[in-house]
Structure 1
Amino acid sequence: MRRSPLLPIFLTVFVDVLGLTLVLPLLPFYAEHFGASELVVGVLAASYAVCQLVSGPILGRISDRVGRKPTLLASQTGTFIGFLVLGSASSLWMLFLGRIIDGLTAGNLTIAQAYISDVTRPEERTRAFGLIGIAFGSGFLLGPAITGELASRFGYGAPALGAAALSLTSILLTATLLPAKPIAPAAATESAEAGAARPASVGRGDAFRRFFDRPLARRRLLEFFAFSLSFSTLIGGLALFLERRFAFGVKETGYIFAFSGLIGGSIQGGALGRLAKRYGEQRLAVVGFATMVIGYGLLGAAYGLPALLLLVAVGAFGSAVVRPSITTLLTKSVGRDEQGAALGVSQSLASVSQIVGPIGAGWLIEHRALTAYGLMAATFAVVGLILGAQKLPAGEPVEL
């Protein structure tokens, strides 16, 4: 483990995610504290994504040019500043400012994924991307539970300041542990690499056209987009849903997020690699989409805690296997020198989903359409399920 090139990136992502999860379940309650409506809460979440939509592809291309480490450090510094602004907020506009600053430098996950692609063989990549899932699961397990305690004891600003401290820790970890120039394994090859040596430093529109002109890359990006829309809708409205349906406060909501993280982290930390080898990433993604449909679609019918926990567990399993599977399939569909740009495009699609999902969820919940909120998240997962169940484009290699 000490020699693993993935250990430093796991530690930095884990600390980043832990900071994020301190803030995520807090923001709806924080915003309502300053008089925000449900729709404004959704717009607050979307403001981060709007800025990320601009910055994501740029940071992906910069990381291809100047290296993962310096770009990751710049991104983490923006996150640190954004959390400081949130922690010191005295009005609603300061919450928006903090999220905007964070969004304009938001590239941590994209750069981490590109780094993993740099240092792993294609056949090892799903399990390696599962490390990010473990970091997310562990962060969601610890962060939200801590948030509830901090907010109830010290006020809404305390979790954000705690997140800032974690972000600073992440900067130090990246600066001291992450190699400046990761070395790809000698045996690593890409089926799409032959003849694909194209410059990564192209505009965002060119990057979209480049990847969407290829049937397999287009399919992977659309599958990722469907997943992101579904997951963003669920997460964007979950705190408000729990507040309206179950009268949960920030502490109880934090525990639900933590339970979801426990399920996701358990899957990605244990069975994911074996499942990917046995069934293949594409079949695994299809199963994951199907369980997301069930978990999210029936959420609006949950009125008791046992039913809620069951559906959260089912949905958490689905998202835990879909994200790393689709990310692996995307990186296999492009050349090694294009992976940063491709992941930047995927981050742009994720940003669009993080605009549409929370605003749509907020609008529905504001109009007390709680069942429709769950169905909206499930509908996007159905799209991913349909895409995943289709045959591969003619002439493309079959992935086992």
Structure 2
Amino acid sequence: MLRSPLLPIFLTVFVDVLGMTLVLPLLPFYAEHFGATPLVVGLLAASYAVCQLVSGPILGRISDRVGRKPTLLASQVGTFIGFLVLGSANALWVLFLGRIIDGLTAGNLTIAQAYISDVTRPEERTRAFGLIGIAFGGGFLLGPAISGFLAHRFGYASPAYGAAALSLTSILLTAAVLPANPRAPAASPGAPATASARPAPIGRGNAFRRFFDRPLPRRRLLEFFAFSLSFSTLIGGLALFLERRFEFDVEKTGYLYAFSGLIGGSIQGGLIGRLARRYGEERLALLGFAAMVAGYGLLGVAYNLPTLLLLVAVAAFGAAVVRPSITTLLTKSVGRDEQGAALGVSQSLASISQIVGPIGAGWLIEHRALAAYGLMAATFAACGIFLGLQKIPAGEPVES
């Protein structure tokens, strides 16, 4: 790992995710502090996603043309400013402003994934994308616990300022250690031709149409959308659910997020590569979706802490294996010089899910429909299973 070309991107993503997870469990309580209802909390999450929906594919295409590093730096600067605004908030509208600024420049993860595609062979990508999962797992392990501790003892602004400091650190890391022109990997000896060898469609057509007109990229994007809808619904309402069902405050909520991060990071740090080699990305994604259905769908019957922890562990395993598997399958289904744009489209779909999921979760929780909240998240994951079981259209190339 020390000599790996992935080390610089791992470091920058880890610091970015750590900053993000400082804010994630904080926002519902921060917003309620200014009088927000659960539905308004959902709208706060959606405001970030609406802006990200606009910026995602644009930043993906820009990174294909001008390079990953300068685009990533611009995105990180926006995140830094957004966190500073959150820390200075004295009214609910300032929280919205901070999330809007961050959303308009939100391309960190998309660009990092495109960078990984640049420097890895197709057969290595699931394990490589697992590094993003390790960063998320580590971030979710440390960030929410630190956030809960800081918010409980020093007020809601302190985690936001801590996130800003981490964001500045990430900017400095990117500027100092990330190569501006990463070297593409050599092809494996005897490797079959892959989707990346196909000529990329070039033109000014809509990026969504470019990929949705082709059966295999369309399927992969829809699978990613099902995952994102499920995960965004769960995360968008989890703090509110815990507050109402278990009377958790921001500190206890942070510790539960940390437990989930421990499970996810353990899976992606030590098992994801072996699981992918043994089962393949398609079957691994199906297994993960099934775990998400079980973990989310049974939340409504969780009334004690051991049951809650068991369901969180099952669901965390599912999310930990689905994300890198689907991302790998997506990058294999398009040409190498399309990968940034395809991942940008996937980020736009994630943004749509981050609009629908939190608003739906907030509305259900506001009406005390706590069991329906979990079932909504489980239903979206079940759609991922349905998509994964469909046969690949005749004549469509299969990813290697």
SS in 2 for 1:390: coil
- The structural deviation recorded for 1:233 is 0.1
Q: Which residue of 1 aligns with 2:217?
A: 217
SS for the counterpart of 2:195 is coil
CA contact (8 A) 1:282 1:399 kept: no
SS of 2:194's partner is coil
Does the 8 A contact of 1:110 with 1:347 survive in 2?
yes
Structure 1: segments with no counterpart, 5+ residues: none
State yes or no: 1:184 paired with 2:187: no
Report the CA distance between 1:202 and its aligned residue.
3.6
Q: Are the structure 2 counterparts of residues 81 and 284 from structure 1 closer, same or farther at C-alpha, using a change threshold of 3 Å?
A: same
Query: How much has 1:397 moved relative to structure 2?
Result: 4.4
What does 1:1-400 align with in structure 2 at a 5 Å threshold? 1-187=1-187, 191-199=194-202, 202=204, 206-398=206-398
Q: Which amino acid aligns with 1:193?
A: S
Following the alignment from structure 1 to structure 2, what is the Cα–Cα distance between the partners of residues 398 and 72? 31
- The sequence identity of aligned pairs, in percent, is 85
Q: Is the 8 A contact 2:201 2:210 kept in 1?
A: no
Paired AA for residue 353 in structure 2: S
The offset of 1:315, in angstroms, is: 0.3
Question: Once the two structures are superposed, what CA deviation does each residue of 1:263-306 show, in whole Å capped at 9, x if it has no partner?
Answer: 00000001100000111000000000001000000011100000
Superposed CA deviations along residues 156-208 of structure 1, whole A, max 9, x for unmatched, are: 00000000000000000000000000111121676123442333x745xx211
Q: Distance in 1 between matches of 2:357 and 2:340?
A: 25
Counterparts of 1:157 and 1:113, CA distance in 2: 31
| One-letter amino acid of the counterpart of residue 394, structure 1 | A
The change in CA–CA distance for 1:130 and 1:195 in structure 2 (over 3 A counts) is: closer
Provide the aligned length of Structure 1 versus Structure 2: 397
Q: Does the 8 A contact of 2:333 with 2:399 survive in 1? A: no
4+ residue runs over 3 A deviation:
396-400
After TM superposition, the score normalised by the length of structure 2 is: 0.98
CA distance in 1, matches of 2:164, 2:12: 14
Deviation at 1:396, TM superposition (A): 3.3
Partners in 2 of 1:114 and 1:352 — Cα distance?
20
Shift of 1:241: 0.2
Q: Report the Cα distance in structure 1 between the residues aligned to 2:278 and 2:398, rounded to whole angstroms.
A: 15
Distance 2:341 2:196 in 1: 14
